[in-house]
Amino acid sequence: MPRRKGYVPHGVIPAVLLPFDGDLAIDETSFRQHLRDVAATDGISAITLNAHSTEVASCTVDEQRRVLEVAQDEIGAIVPLINGIWADGSIEAARLARMATKGGASALLVFPPAPFTLGQSPQMAVAHFKRIADATDLPLIAFQYPLATGQGYPKDTLLKLVEEVPSIRAIKDWIGNVPHHEWHVRTLQSLPRPVNVLTTHSAWLFSSLVLGCNGLLSGSGSVITALQSAMFKAVQRNDLAEAKRLNDRIEPLMRAFYADPFVDMHNRMKQALVLLGHLPHAHVRPPLVKIEAAEVARIRQGLIEAGLLDGKTGRRAA
């Protein structure tokens, strides 16, 4: 399926998980089913892959290409695909951008390069994005990390980026600071060429959406796609009572998914899909390790409180 020309990232965008088999190879059968499950949800605008949620840091370039191929084959005719660009160097990032463009992606999610943890300048950030933009005509989503990581873009840098790289059409906002997050929403979405703010503050999604984000992009959408879609719609129509009701269902799972250590969030989401009967196993690649039984129990309780799992039968709720 050819990419969606003119696609602008917006709305509800789940980031899918990547199942592995017992030998830690990609379980394509389970991945295809997972893609179909998520893509069938009413109200989503795209699906993201080759990102944190698919353990991209542990995937080879060939595996990333295959992930996109499988997704394109399975759901490319149903929903636009956003492909993550995870690379420490700009040349490799551009190479991945060309691969994703050729593979039919509709947009690219650009992760900040790891060397920025040692310090960055606006010139470095612009040069990185320009190298990628020169390699593709796809719209770009800048992944905005918390500033404390060193990989987040300060306000002046971000404004310079969107001014000098016109193909940046959205940010995935993980700034982790409410006033700064609100600045993103007010400033970027009001530019002459608006840049959509896609929140990934899943642990406080209701609060974030009420600030006016034009979308959300989240790995937890791999489990609670329908709840996120319903909440986004409720906030968009200013039905805050319904949005709060949905938030009360979502919150117990967010406590479970985003507990310490934070790096295990997608590990926990895989386990949730196993409990729901959507995946056969919750294998993860090292350095991640299988979560303990006590944590599995907390995830099960979160699913019950969210109304997704029947507490008596242990089966998926109707």
Taking the C-alpha atoms of residue 76 and residue 260, their distance in angstroms, rounded to an integer, is 35
∠ Cα 12 41 271 (to 5°): 90
pLDDT in tens, 144-178: 999 999 999 999 999 999 999 999 999 999 999 99
The alpha carbons of the chain give a radius of gyration, in whole angstroms, of: 19
Burial of 242 (0-12, 13-18, 19+ CB in 10 A): middle
Distance CA(255)–CA(95), nearest Å, equals: 38
Residues 47 and 50: their CA atoms lie apart, in Å, by 10
Whether the CB-CB separation of 259 and 271 falls below 8 Å is answered with no
| pLDDT, mean of residues 297-310 | 96
pLDDT at 1: 46
Q: Is 248 helix (H, G, I), strand (E, B) or coil?
A: helix
Mean pLDDT of the 6-28 span: 97
**Region of 218 on the Ramachandran plot (φ > 0 left; ψ -120 to 50 alpha; else beta):** beta
Which is higher by pLDDT, 318 or 263? 263
Q: Which long-range contacts (CB under 8 A, 24 or more apart) does 98-103 make?
A: 98/135, 98/136, 99/61, 99/64, 99/65, 99/68, 100/50, 100/68, 100/136, 100/138, 101/3, 101/135, 101/136, 101/137, 101/138, 103/65, 103/68, 103/69, 103/72
Please provide residue 131's backbone torsions phi and psi, each rounded to the nearest 5 degrees. -60, -40
DSSP 192-247: SS--EEEE--GGGHHHHHHTT-SEEEETTHHHHHHHHHHHHHHHHTT-HHHHHHHH
| Residues whose CB falls within 8 Å of the CB of residue 261, separated by 6 or more in sequence, listed in order | none
Residue with tokens 């006590």: 294
Q: State the burial class of residue 119 (Cβ atoms within 10 Å of its Cβ: 0-12, 13-18, 19+).
A: exposed
Counting residues of the chain whose pLDDT is more than 90, the rounded percentage is 95
The mean pLDDT of 192-202, rounded to a whole number, is 98
Residue 108 pairs with which residues in a beta bridge? 83, 140
Cβ contacts of 261-264, under 8 Å, gap ≥ 24: 263/288, 264/288, 264/291
pTM for this entry: 0.96
The residues near 217 (Cβ < 8 Å, ≥ 6 apart) are 9, 13, 15, 48, 82, 109, 141, 172, 198, 199, 200
pLDDT in tens, 256-276: 999 999 999 999 999 999 999
pLDDT-derived band at 318, boundaries 50, 70, 90? low
What percent of the chain stands above pLDDT 70? 98
The predicted structure's pLDDT at residue 317: 80
Please give the residue that has the higher pLDDT: either 94 or 3: 94
Question: How big is the chain, counted in residues?
Answer: 318
Identify the CATH homologous superfamily for domain 11-239: Aldolase class I (3.20.20.70)
Q: How many other CB atoms are there within 10 angstroms of residue 207's CB atom?
A: 13
Residue 166 in 3-state DSSP?
coil
What pLDDT digit, counting tens, does each position of 31-87 carry?
999 999 999 999 999 999 999 999 999 999 999 999 999 999 999 999 999 999 999
Pure H helices in 14-164: 28-39, 61-75, 90-102, 122-133, 155-164
Domains in the chain: boundaries: 11-239
Element of type H or E holding 143: strand 140-144
Give the C-alpha separation, 103 to 125, whole Å. Answer: 26
Check pLDDT > 60 for residue 204.
yes
pLDDT tens column, 110-144: 999 999 999 999 999 999 999 999 999 999 999 99
